[in-house]
Structure 1
């Protein structure tokens, strides 16, 4: 019953998000994710030195840059570059968090955040993961759709695009696992939990003691990811329950594997899925037949 209570809270939270403007909610959650990510990186500024883990890797990726373009090389290998990139990302994310409905900020801020994340991927790739890639998709989507003057049309296209992208991400992730011998054997979850970077000692002990649980988690992950598009065909309660399961899935990953940024990255796309589900129900609703007037 306790699990049922937790699940009901998740579905209620999902319903609350549905009641809010989905595009605003998505932008706020996404900006919270990029803000936290940039502040976490800035807190490790001691590793911004040239050649260090979080510093610029321009020399490694562009070995001829120093000879061909020495000024550009000095700028791209400067210790100030990570400060500038992550500082700008933090400022733009904070602004978006405060003013999520501002159209100029949506366009310019989203484009700038995409550019900054691109720079990170090209020059400072260490410490990045799939959450960063999804954040880029969100920022690009919100910036490009913001060019549409009609507010409702812009948000409708943005939400449908993010819902599609999220569905494809889940299916792609599930298919990769489905052809992996480790995942099919059922040992993948226990193996990941055992690692130093993404492990949790107590959870690993539990999965080692009960291997059937590890298999259930491995196969269950494949099933819910590969089968995610079914959510658009399910009745309203079942669809909400499915999405609540995915929310719990990400929260579990954040709690046991330390991948907290995935919670906010995918969490930012869930309002889009709620929006598409609500639109689907409206589109399927019968059109009211006008009652003929009885006045003579």
Structure 2
């Protein structure tokens, strides 16, 4: 099996926009540098939190090239490459420029709701189409289908370059079943900030985090403390940010974290349709909590 290098705090990187809706590359540079300086262990770019469906092919290429250049090999980079048309993803893997990228994150097919056998064949085909490490992404709240633990473990055993799963099912029993039965070398990453503490406690090796965009130092510290077995101080960090976890997603992602980053002075609070900024009431409550936490 290919070795998994995606551990610790992974940043599910946002895409900042200017008031006119164009990509704010200057703010993106500042944000990536801030995250690198404050504990980011790897980046996950051009995925859900990056509003990737709203980006043009030219914008995607420019963002990828920019992040690769900025990171300069200091930490690994995952890039989103998934969808509900297997053949189209295979073509993308064979034609897209993946230079400087260390692996791909591939989400479960959405909308067409395949069976467990369909999910298995889909990801097996994707894994065979690339030499890059593949991180699976199970997020039934978005896709409408849950990839069961036995399907995940089957893929991990049968495909040498499937190295990990970003688990965002919200089902800790399912996560525990994967960790219990997985082959050696395959690992689990949390895809839910609020569940990162219990998932790492169960044996996950890190997270692909939304809140890490804004609070990389604090969130990476929590994960590192857990990895060293220092659960009490890690739990305090987890509890400290519980209210923020819910506010980040109440109006959709990445509306919450973009509002937070705007309050911190990093970006404009702009999203591309069909997404819109978080409600004023959510923003006000978030601002209050940030002041209480001295952020």
Using structure 1 for the length normalisation, give the TM-score.
0.25
Which of the two has greater strand per residue? 2
- Tell me which structure has the larger Cα radius of gyration: 1
Which of the two has greater helix per residue? 1
